[in-house]
Structure 1
Amino acid sequence: MTQTRTTRLERGRSALGPALELVHTGRAPTRAVLTAELGVTRATAGAVAAELEALGLITVDARPAAAAGSQGRPSHRLSVAPDGPVVLAAQIHADGFRAALVGLGGRMVATAPGCVTVPADPARIIGTVVEEGARLLRETDRRCLGAGLAVPSAVAEPDGTALNPLHLSWPAGAPVRALFTEALAAAGVPGPAGGPLAGVAGNDVNLAALAEHRHGAGRGARHLLCVATGHRGVGGALVLDGRLHSGSSGLAMEVGHLTVNPAGLPCHCGSRGCLDVEADPRAFLTAAGREPGPAGSLLHQATELIRTSYDTDPAVRAAVELLVDRLGLGLAGLVNILNPDRVVLGGLHRELLTADPGRLRAVVADRSLWGRSGSVPILPGTLDHGSLIGAAEAAWQPVLDDPLAVLG
């Protein structure tokens, strides 16, 4: 084999991961776009696309067609393989769990929710959600290439331990990644080569931000700030140049413990008036004069109350305004420090923005150094299960980095 031929093959292999990520995120819908994005020849792009198709990851349209009104040579369309492999995604939250199978492109193939009282032993609930995921794999007969878990806690690296599961009764420092990997083995979920499957675990809002950046309202942002409240508490995340910023040991962006009401409620962290207790579903329901719970999801209860009563109930409108002001105060501080080019809100915060977008943007602009001169776009998240999709993104990452190393 000539040196030129060897170099071409090496260049093609090095382009497999970037090419797959371009198709995965919808940024390369055709082979012509793929060629331009990769900066390679048409022949190399064609070979790369063919290799990814042979691996069962994408499909290449055999009969290229030009778009209406376009000129020039038509290009083959590229898309993720509809019946291709999946990853197992799992999420644990204060009101239960959800398991899902997620394909490339962030496509939810199957899902199984469960509302339970989360036990103090994390191994039990992790085992339950993995068993549900294994059941989905058996029913769909899909090949599994990875597994990811989202938890409502900062996850320290490199050990994969949940340091502050404040809204669960777990002990601090629970080894969630190790427990997840053990549960996958116990449930008989095989890895790509038939051996044991190593799970990955991360904070739920971090993973939701990654999902929004790749498949949702954050797509195309260079510096994306995501703030969200799920079933309990408030979290934040930052994506810089396409990569999640997790700090030196995975503990960055604990924005829930910004003080927005110094005379407010005591927080689990030991302070008072943090976003975590002043701008989450429980805080909203209390402000609206509703009794939180006791059964079901607080997030669902709060979301439905805004959707059904904001226009008709003065107490609900006042509660929205109160939480918008608290959230806006926290966002303004974050914008001043981080200077993102986009802010995406998830969970209950998405509903607050939708209910009164002008008020929230005005609060942030009034308190932001740059708010009046160059307003940062504040957008609602577009993914209903962002943390699950994000857990899948973490599981897909080794494949996106080097498809042949995983599937070869």
Structure 2
Amino acid sequence: MTQTRTRLERGRSALGPALELVHTGRAPTRAVLTAELGVTRATAGAVAAELEALGLIQVDSRPLGAAGAQGRPSHRLSIAPHGPVALAAQVHTDGFRAALVGLGGRLVATAPGSMTVPADPTHVIDAVVEAGAQLLSETGRRCVGAGLAVPSAVAEPEGTALNPLHVAWPAGAPVGELFTRSLVAAGIRGDDREPVPGFVGNDVNLAALAEHRHGAGGGAQHLLCVATGHRGVGGALVLDGRLHTGSAGLALEVGHLTVNPEGSPCHCGSRGCLDTETDPLAFLTAAGREPGPEVSLLRQARDLLRQAYATDPSVRAATEQLIDRLGLGLASLVNILNPDRIILGGLHRELLEADPERLRAVVADRSLWGRSGGVPILPCTLDHNSLVGAAELAWQPVLDDPLAALGVG
């Protein structure tokens, strides 16, 4: 056995952690990788070489030291530019989107699709998988797995959509089973010619996971994400790098916190929930605007906020109303969860950017921990973060054990 192979055997358990460090941008050089893994330089070199041989990363063969730096320059590590991808899919109230996502959360190709989401989820799931299969065919990329983001709490491990309130699916729709069946029917296979694994998750959970690994949540130990997309409000919690989904995948249904007891009726049977008081429809209604059918409610609300906030008193009043109600909900979550960072997505990101001081003041005034020093509240930074998060589900087995997931060794 060669010396290099012996080092690799000693560091085999470091392959997954090493890949995750490069994947999340925390190990830009082999020197940093060595320090983060706590292994010898030789072992880190063998691990990086093996990941490169698997087609996952790229090691700079001719490193350059910084001007004036002492000692040997370190090899730079980066994602292999033509490496494998995950098929990511998202279904929302206005249709679907498919994408190919490489390591590092990089979108390789996307294919948006619009359709009225039917009561039978089979049709839209088949459509989004077909779009993904077309992207794979066009790019010729290897596929490691597939992930699907849906606007519903998803029970684990069954993969059933328990409360798809803003699409017409029945409660308990077996989206995991349907997604897997569609992947098989589309002939999407891995290097071993076996069907690729399919994973399903709630769209906001997956957005939070993506933001933690590649966006505004990086470095947070207790990350709270709250977001409103096309309809409704969702929340997610990432603890020490892993999604907290509860005992059955149903944690953080924050949309049903009451923030206005006299407010609008909610699909859940209550009134004045965050879900109905701070989503795009609530904003348009508060601003006295009649929603149009031509574009999504999220797009209409964003455009109105950006274009008229500074000049239209009704839009400013609607913005302040939603900020105050969002702040009440966030304060309750801060009291319960004590996060070290909050990130906001969808229309909530726009509300934060419109008047950050007002939102932060409401949260600080209404929360115990907010008063003791404040919790950073930041906007999400990734485009299509639910898609990137769906890809993270598919990449996770590779990050856990690259050799086993890729059928090597």
TM-score category by the smaller chain? over 0.9
> Where does residue 24 of structure 2 map in the other structure?
25
> Where does residue 105 of structure 1 map in the other structure?
104
> Where does residue 358 of structure 1 map in the other structure?
357
Deviation digits for residues 38-62 of structure 1, max 9, x if unmatched?
A: 0000000000000000000000000
* Distance (Å, rounded) in 1 between the aligned partners of 2:4 and 2:57: 25
Deviation digits for residues 139-189 of structure 1, max 9, x if unmatched?
A: 111111110000000000111100000001101111111100111111111
> Where does residue 397 of structure 1 map in the other structure?
396
Using the TM superposition, give the Cα deviation of residue 373 of structure 1 relative to its aligned residue in structure 2, in angstroms.
2.1
SS at match of 1:394: helix
Using the TM superposition, give the Cα deviation of residue 71 of structure 1 relative to its aligned residue in structure 2, in angstroms.
2.4
> Where does residue 343 of structure 1 map in the other structure?
342
Check the 8 A contact 2:197/2:394 in 1, yes or no: no
* Distance (Å, rounded) in 1 between the aligned partners of 2:58 and 2:108: 17
Using the TM superposition, give the Cα deviation of residue 132 of structure 1 relative to its aligned residue in structure 2, in angstroms.
0.3
SS at match of 1:360: helix
* Distance (Å, rounded) in 2 between the aligned partners of 1:105 and 1:81: 10
Check the 8 A contact 2:223/2:342 in 1, yes or no: yes
Q: Which consecutive unaligned segments of at least 5 residues does structure 2 have?
A: none
Letter in 1 for 2:11: G
Using the TM superposition, give the Cα deviation of residue 118 of structure 1 relative to its aligned residue in structure 2, in angstroms.
0.4
Using the TM superposition, give the Cα deviation of residue 5 of structure 1 relative to its aligned residue in structure 2, in angstroms.
9.4
Letter in 2 for 1:162: A
SS at match of 1:371: helix
Check the 8 A contact 2:224/2:342 in 1, yes or no: yes
1:371 and 2:376 are equivalent in the alignment:
no
Check the 8 A contact 1:281/1:348 in 2, yes or no: yes
Check the 8 A contact 1:87/1:145 in 2, yes or no: yes
* Distance (Å, rounded) in 2 between the aligned partners of 1:119 and 1:214: 33
SS at match of 2:11: helix
> Where does residue 265 of structure 2 map in the other structure?
266
Deviation digits for residues 166-221 of structure 1, max 9, x if unmatched?
A: 00110111111110011111111112311112200000000000000000000000
> Where does residue 54 of structure 2 map in the other structure?
55
Check the 8 A contact 2:8/2:47 in 1, yes or no: no
Letter in 2 for 1:352: L
Deviation digits for residues 72-112 of structure 1, max 9, x if unmatched?
A: 22000000011111010000000110000000000000001
> Where does residue 317 of structure 1 map in the other structure?
316
- Seq. identity, %: 81
> Where does residue 163 of structure 2 map in the other structure?
164
Deviation digits for residues 270-328 of structure 1, max 9, x if unmatched?
A: 11100010000000011111112323211111111111111111111111100000000
Check the 8 A contact 1:95/1:118 in 2, yes or no: yes
SS at match of 2:370: coil
* Distance (Å, rounded) in 2 between the aligned partners of 1:155 and 1:383: 23
Deviation digits for residues 345-399 of structure 1, max 9, x if unmatched?
A: 0000000000000000000000010212211000000012110000001110000
* Distance (Å, rounded) in 1 between the aligned partners of 2:97 and 2:384: 10
> Where does residue 142 of structure 1 map in the other structure?
141
SS at match of 2:339: coil
* Alignment CA distance shift 1:281-1:74 (3 Å): same
SS at match of 2:235: strand
1:307 and 2:306 are equivalent in the alignment:
yes
> Where does residue 230 of structure 1 map in the other structure?
229
Check the 8 A contact 2:60/2:75 in 1, yes or no: yes
Letter in 1 for 2:371: R
* Distance (Å, rounded) in 2 between the aligned partners of 1:290 and 1:10: 64
Alignment TM-score, normalising by the size of structure 2:
0.97
Using the TM superposition, give the Cα deviation of residue 6 of structure 1 relative to its aligned residue in structure 2, in angstroms.
8.9
Q: Which consecutive unaligned segments of at least 5 residues does structure 1 have?
A: none
Using the TM superposition, give the Cα deviation of residue 8 of structure 1 relative to its aligned residue in structure 2, in angstroms.
4.5
SS at match of 1:75: coil
Letter in 2 for 1:216: G
Q: Which runs of 4+ in 1 moved over 6 A?
A: 4-7
> Where does residue 333 of structure 1 map in the other structure?
332
Check the 8 A contact 1:115/1:296 in 2, yes or no: no
Which runs of structure 2 are paired with 1:10-49 in the superposition (5 Å)?
10-49=9-48
* Distance (Å, rounded) in 2 between the aligned partners of 1:133 and 1:333: 40
Check the 8 A contact 2:343/2:380 in 1, yes or no: yes
Check the 8 A contact 1:99/1:133 in 2, yes or no: yes
Check the 8 A contact 1:192/1:406 in 2, yes or no: no
Check the 8 A contact 1:226/1:238 in 2, yes or no: yes
Using the TM superposition, give the Cα deviation of residue 9 of structure 1 relative to its aligned residue in structure 2, in angstroms.
3.9
Which runs of structure 2 are paired with 1:247-262 in the superposition (5 Å)?
247-262=246-261
